[in-house]
Amino acid sequence: MSDKPIYNVHSMVEHLKMAEMRKKHPDWLWNRSDTHVLLGVPTSHEGYKTAVEPGNSFSPGHRTYGVSTWLYADGKLHAPEELPIEQLNWSFLEGHVPILRSVWQAGGFSVESRLFTDGNPDTNDIKTYLTVELGNEGGAAVTGILYVTIRSFGAAGGAISRLAMDGTSLKLNGERVMVAEEPPARFGAVSYADTGQDIYAYLAKGQFPENAQVEDASTWASGALAYDVTLEAGEKRSLSFVCQVHGDNWMVKRMVDLPAACPDVGSVAEQFAADWQAKSRIKLQLPDRRFQEAMLAQLTHLYMFTVDAEPRITPVSYPLWWLRDGAYVVVALDKGGYGEFAERALRAAAHRDAFGGFGAEGDGPANGIWMISEHYLLTRSKPYLQDMYPHIVRKAELLREMRHTTVPVKRHNEFRTPEMLLRAESDILCMASRDGLIMGRMDHHQPILWINGYAYLALKRAAICAEALGIEGTWFAEEAEDLKQAIRRKAEQIFGDNPRDPNSVFWPTGWGEKDDARIVEGMERFWNEERFPNGRHNPEPHWTYFEAGQAHNLLLMGRRDRAWVSIEHFLNLHTAPGLYTYHEGCDDENSSLQWQRSRGWDEIRYITPHGWTAAELFLLLRDCLAREEEETLVIGSGIPESWMSEPFSVSGLPTYFGSASFSYAPEGRKLRVTVERLPQGGIRSELPGDVEVVVERG
């Protein structure tokens, strides 16, 4: 037995190693670990998503290495890792094209970096492109040294045992992983095993390591490419680098090869931006740029998160399709113009009825019908609906069984979070029904109105789909109405007792009536006690998607003013400032334990970016502009009075009536609406004040 290796948690969890190293070397400049975003080629494997921290310090793939850009000037080393986050000015190109731009100051230099990930998910040939532009905005010449540092830790780093430079190619663990536009003036590498130091210890003192290549049994090797820079007043200089994502992986290197020379990154970026804009169907020209950027940025994050034909809440924390959150994501992408992906996802998952990180949950079958029917309503494709109808029927029958069962209903689901793999309740869909209601499980409890509200939505949608196919004699509508009455009887007793109630009663389930005194009282109580106590906004601290849902329900109640309290919050405060991202929780709850296997994001305070919040926020902002109410298209439910003195326009918005566009002119207060199929119920303006509506068919 003595010759067998002993495996302990240290061999699995890099975060414990990082904690020991942080304690041993508090003087090192460590990764920020305060927030991050993920760049990814849509539909690529989650392992190929590039993690990025403020200042565009990044890791090209999960568990690879950390890349940072530092500048030595005025006798001091400047690095984004040590700057306050508000000094790093982070943004997407044009607010939503996923070329990350970060601008910061280093002595007399301005430093602007641009970062994006592009490639082919079918072959895993994915690259992350970095351009660093140094500028001199002063009146005298400035001199400094640009360092592109390579370390085992970073945004999502991993072990480095060998490091060397060969001309313009960086070799890591024996493989070419990065190519530079220009060869560095110098390259230096540090073996931690030999020196007990990181590259930072040298660069911070204005020194440079002598070794140009190292081997390091400790796996904490580090190094830097050095470029001497002198800029006259007003002069700029840019340098570009390309990283092969997972370029040292033993399989990847057999499939793809890093080019011998760095391509023209500017041209690649230009084409990348043009391609992304071409995919973006929705075009906005709005008075509030925050609203415009936030709405489109949610689609950008969600589309980059996708893996094959599956949505992701967030790729590393939750590397699985979680049905409830994923349903919101698929609906958001569908309504955001990414219908082709949505249909692929729906066809791939239609046979599965209840699945996700917590196992079989009670709203699962209804979530499936919701997103399947949304795609039909957006496309009106009868062939698609005919293919999906058997799945709708099966899910509806399961909901009926759950509503009338006298024994627990179970469903096995093999893909769950590590904690839930052996939890006793993970296969329980619902308990025996009571009062004509499903006693389903969701998020470790039984929110009765949430579960049954979704079941009502699903049964109602099943009836709509059957009617669209000309199928008569179904039981869906009758069951939906009977369930609705049971929900209302229960709501008289409990509405508002569960925080899920105010964010699902009207949107998206539709079981409630806006003039129901019990519902109005419950919504009012929640607002006064939870969301806006003592006349002051109290943002949801953990489950940010719930506040977005609550705002959506307030919008449908006609409380535009209250909805905008939360909208303002989302527009102004982002987990990654400038990139419109949001978080979940206060630690790494429900973790997949994948961040813990990387040398990065080691001081976890929450899960971010979060796809459910992104989806909820997009759907809220979308419905502020235009929404469907049965057979009516409603324009402007959430547009504020402050916009009405300026012109604005929306085009290419997917709706149940085809692509819709509208423009508003303050002169004469005229609203022009163009839609592919004129709604039977007409087009109604809910813009503030009197507006003349001119309707045209597209």
- The structure tokens listed for 489 are 């009887």
Residues in CB range of 226: below 8 A, 6 or more apart: 145, 146, 147, 184, 185, 186, 187, 188, 208
Rg (the chain; Cα; Å): 27
The whole-number pLDDT of residue 2 equals 45
Q: Buried (b) or exposed (e) across 488-524, using 16+ Cβ within 10 A? A: bebbeeebbeeebbbbbbbbbbbbbeeebebbeebbe
Q: How far is Cα 76 from Cα 168, in angstroms, rounded to an integer?
A: 27
The residue extents of the domains of the chain are 30-276, 282-351+570-697, 353-373+382-538
Region of 43 please: left (phi>0), alpha (psi -120 to 50) or beta: left
By C-alpha distance, which of 86, 92, 142, 88 is closest to 114?
A: 92
Q: Does the model's pTM come out above 0.85?
A: yes
The whole-number pLDDT of residue 7 equals 47
Side chain identity at 647, as an amino acid letter? P
Side chain identity at 521, as an amino acid letter? E
Helix (H, G, I), strand (E, B) or coil at 84: coil
The whole-number pLDDT of residue 489 equals 97
Average pLDDT by stretches of 10, the chain with 698 residues: 50 87 97 98 97 98 98 97 97 98 97 98 96 95 98 98 97 97 98 98 97 97 98 97 96 89 97 97 98 98 98 96 97 98 98 96 98 98 98 98 98 91 94 98 95 98 98 98 98 95 97 96 97 97 97 98 98 98 90 93 96 98 98 98 98 98 97 97 97 92
With the C-alpha atoms ordered 32, 36, 38, 39, is the resulting torsion angle positive or negative?
negative
Residues in CB range of 282: below 8 A, 6 or more apart: 295, 296, 299, 336, 337, 650, 651, 652, 653, 654
Side chain identity at 433, as an amino acid letter? S
Query: The domain 30-276 is classified under which CATH number: 2.30.42.10, 1.10.510.10, 3.40.50.720, 2.70.98.10?
Result: 2.70.98.10
Asked if the bond preceding 408 is cis, omega within 30° of 0, the reply is no
Q: Is 579 exposed, middle or buried (0-12, 13-18, 19+ CB in 10 A)?
A: buried
Q: Buried (b) or exposed (e) across 600-623, using 16+ Cβ within 10 A? A: bbbebebbbbbbbbbbbbbbbbbb
User: Do 213 and 164 touch, CB atoms closer than 8 A?
Assistant: yes
The whole-number pLDDT of residue 5 equals 47
